[in-house]
């Protein structure tokens, strides 16, 4: 099978990008062909077919850039050029809204290629994609197509104009290319995400879909260690929806415990100014340096305050034998088995997180060793890179068959 892998950016900027790249590697190892298609950018990693990539939106003027945000005709033309030279059995898009846009879908269909989309966030049902408004509250006011609530509550980082544009883009997209009607298949990475999409917009109930948790190969390269380093770890983006502020305040009550923070983001300086002596900011880390820090952690903390989907942080931590302290929100409770693979707490509640940290510290050595075994077993069952291709290809084949039957 030959697969076209699509993503808004061709560099490792987040969990969705990791899945975009590793899906290609996994398909190749399973005997399939793949080609990447993305946007040009200064950060883009070198690629042999990058000459076919769509132009960098950031290089255009404001009016053109805004127009392409709604309907990226440049990406559609670039894709049409690629498909005139190469044929694919199926296209698989990861991040596409606000970048490639749905303008690429009719181009694929024109060439007889069905498209599946992996849902990494909530951009198909929430204009600001996080279900959080400008006040920092979990918010579902746009349910029923009331997208101007995004503008009213300044849901995009508290910015009025940006929130208005995102609301308008949702109106435009649903009117011209509603995803539930135009995508040929949808891959949800958590059952929570599937249920939430269908609850907010019932049209998604009729869309062909499957639930496939993310996968990782990290545990194969960096296996569990016998002795942890005695510290807790947060690694990821330092932004408001990640709950990092709540995490730091909870550790302030436990000065005897050490927390390491890996990552950068808009809240970095604000968080550092708290001046907690038991919190160490390590900045951006990657590769072996990062994963050595992760696998020596006693617990990885995922204190999210938004509908987290299927966090790669947990997927990777489990594969390296590290239990997790996670917020009871979004898809996290699906993959944190209380007392067996980690502990859960009420999202956004400092006192609840304090209690869980205290509970985790009191875990005896024998029980902790058992928890490390449990998370590895969970990863092997649910996040296994060896079984993932079989499940993915099976869904591809179902989508292709249905697409062919529909277009005969």
Across the chain, which has 408 residues, the per-10-residue mean pLDDT values are: 97 87 93 96 92 93 94 97 96 96 98 97 94 90 94 92 95 96 97 97 97 91 93 93 95 95 93 93 94 97 95 95 97 96 97 96 95 97 92 97 90
The CA angle 270-276-279, to the nearest 5 degrees, is: 90
Which stretches of 122-203 are assigned E, i.e. beta strand? Answer: 185-188
Of the candidate CATH numbers 3.10.620.30, 1.20.58.110, 1.20.120.80, 3.40.50.2000, the domain formed by 2-215+385-406 belongs to 3.40.50.2000
pTM for this structure? 0.92
Which stretches of 27-100 are assigned E, i.e. beta strand? Answer: 33-37, 90-93
CA atoms within 13 A on the CB side of 103: 22
Report strand pairing: 90-93 vs 324-327: unpaired
As annotated, the residues of the chain forming the CATH 3.40.50.2000 domain(s) are 2-215+385-406, 218-382
Q: What is the pLDDT of residue 408?
A: 77
How far is residue 172 CA from its own chain's centroid?
A: 24
Q: What is the pLDDT of residue 135?
A: 87
Contacts of 171 (CB under 8 A, 6+ apart): 147
Q: What is the pLDDT of residue 13?
A: 82
CB 123 within 8 A of CB 96: no
At the top level of CATH, the class of 218-382 is alpha beta
Contacts of 386 (CB under 8 A, 6+ apart): none
């Amino acid at each position: 099978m030959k697969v076209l892998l699509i993503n808004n950016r061709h560099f490792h900027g987040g969990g969705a990008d990791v899945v975009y790249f590793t899906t290609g590697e996994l398909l190749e190892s399973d005997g399939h062909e793949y080609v990447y298609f993305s946007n040009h950018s200064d950060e883009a990693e070198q690629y042999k077919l990058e000459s076919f990539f769509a132009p960098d939106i950031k290089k255009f003027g404001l009016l053109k850039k805004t127009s392409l945000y709604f309907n990226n005709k440049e990406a559609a033309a670039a894709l049409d050029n690629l498909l005139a030279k190469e044929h694919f059995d199926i296209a698989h898009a990861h991040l596409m809204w606000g970048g490639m846009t749905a303008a690429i879908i009719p181009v694929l269909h024109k060439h007889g290629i069905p498209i599946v989309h992996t849902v990494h966030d909530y951009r198909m049902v929430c204009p600001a994609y996080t279900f959080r408004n400008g006040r920092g509250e979990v918010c579902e006011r746009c349910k029923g197509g009331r997208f101007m609530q995004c503008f009213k509550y300044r849901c995009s980082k508290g910015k009025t104009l940006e929130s208005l544009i995102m609301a308008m883009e949702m109106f435009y997209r649903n009117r011209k290319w509603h995803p539930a009607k135009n995508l040929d298949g949808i891959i949800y990475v958590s059952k929570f995400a599937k249920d939430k999409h269908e609850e907010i917009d019932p049209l998604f109930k009729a869309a062909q879909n499957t639930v496939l948790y993310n996968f990782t190969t990290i545990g194969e390269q960096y296996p569990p260690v016998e002795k942890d380093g005695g510290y807790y770890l947060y690694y990821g983006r330092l932004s408001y929806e990640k709950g990092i502020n709540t995490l730091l305040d909870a550790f302030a009550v436990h000065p005897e415990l050490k927390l390491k923070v890996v990552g950068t983001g808009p809240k970095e300086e604000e968080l550092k100014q708290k001046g907690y002596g038991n919190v160490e900011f390590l900045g951006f880390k990657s590769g072996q340096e990062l994963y050595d820090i992760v696998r020596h952690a006693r617990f990885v903390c995922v204190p999210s305050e938004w509908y987290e989907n299927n966090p790669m942080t947990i997927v990777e931590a489990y594969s390296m034998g590290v239990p997790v302290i996670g917020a009871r929100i979004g898809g996290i409770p699906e993959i944190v088995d209380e007392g067996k693979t980690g502990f859960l707490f009420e999202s956004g509640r400092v006192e609840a997180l304090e209690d869980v940290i205290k509970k985790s510290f009191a875990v005896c050595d024998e029980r902790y060793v058992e928890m490390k075994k449990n998370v590895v077993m969970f990863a092997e069952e649910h996040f296994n890179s060896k079984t993932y291709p079989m499940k993915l290809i099976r869904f591809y084949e179902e989508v292709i068959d249905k697409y062919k039957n529909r277009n005969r």
